[in-house]
Amino acid sequence: MAFYFGSGWRPIPLEQTFVGVFEKDLSKQKKLLNEICYDKVVEAVRKGYQVMVFVHARGETLATAEFLIRQAQAKKQLSLFTEKSSECPSYRSFLSQVAKSRNPEVESLFRSGFAIHHAGLLRHDRLLAEKMFRAGGVRVLCCTSTLAWGVNLPARVVIIKGTSIYDTKAGGFKDLGILDVLQIFGRAGRPQYDSRGSAILLTCGSARLSRFLRLLTNHMPVDSKFLDHLPNALNAEIAIGTVTSVSEAVDWLGYTFLFVRMYRYYIEKAKTFQE
């Protein structure tokens, strides 16, 4: 038996924003992405919200955080990030903890209201970043998608900065998978604190923007891959005695999602043929 859980099942509503950068020059693309990201971060922080900025390389977490800090300093807006962070009850405790980190950037980022999180950090620094963000000691957390999959750490606003990731197997760049996008978007909004969540996707090119819009706003059918493993699965059922005849095998198959999708497919094709 299969069930579909749409966005209506979320405990709080989610507002989705899609922003496309249509500049072809790569250096200008990066500059625009950073500037738009900063504008979105400031917009959220002004309202008192915390923000998670997702990037797709470990080095990009620090690069993005440092850019946002430089931009805030240049526009004399750094107090937006530091004042609220310093109001955290554990702020002084966090100050002493970041001072002990082997990574000097951890302390300098924290003093500006920022933190980073990726798999390459020492475990102590990762856990400290999570603790500081959860307690409100930092306003912005720049992280990779590993945080979305591995740690339950939601925020009022999440931003995906860019959708191109490097595929080591293919030896080139590819688009971020739709499941990763959904997982990251799922971090937006905290049921116990927020009345709604906000998820923002920044991407480059009209084709990519259209693709993500289509995949995330239209309900795409989910197909079963069970057919590839059907012989092994059926043999296993026969071996344990669940299936002892052809009729029982047919009944067993009727309970699978594969049967549901195949039946629905032929019904849809029959309707098309009749029309």
Q: What integer pLDDT is reported at residue 90 of this predicted model?
A: 95
Cα–Cα nearest to 55, from 135, 123, 6, 120: 120
Q: State the 10-residue block means of pLDDT for the chain, 275 residues long.
A: 58 88 91 97 96 95 97 97 94 96 95 95 95 96 86 89 87 87 87 86 91 76 82 94 93 90 70 53
- Helix, strand, coil proportions of the chain in percent (round to 5)? 55, 15, 30
Asked if 37 and 202 touch (Cβ cutoff 8 Å), the reply is yes
Helices then strands (H, E): number in the chain? Answer: 12, 8
Indicate the residue type of 212: F
3-state SS class at 7: helix
Q: What integer pLDDT is reported at residue 8 of this predicted model?
A: 63
Cα–Cα nearest to 236, from 251, 252, 247: 252
Domains in the chain with CATH codes? 7-217 (3.40.50.300), 226-274 (no CATH)
Asked if 180 and 150 touch (Cβ cutoff 8 Å), the reply is no
Cα–Cα nearest to 48, from 86, 11, 94, 81: 81
Q: What is the CA radius of gyration of the chain?
A: 23
Asked if 54 and 184 touch (Cβ cutoff 8 Å), the reply is yes
Q: What integer pLDDT is reported at residue 171 of this predicted model?
A: 84
Asked if 129 and 117 touch (Cβ cutoff 8 Å), the reply is yes
Q: What integer pLDDT is reported at residue 172 of this predicted model?
A: 85
Q: What integer pLDDT is reported at residue 104 of this predicted model?
A: 92
Q: What integer pLDDT is reported at residue 203 of this predicted model?
A: 94
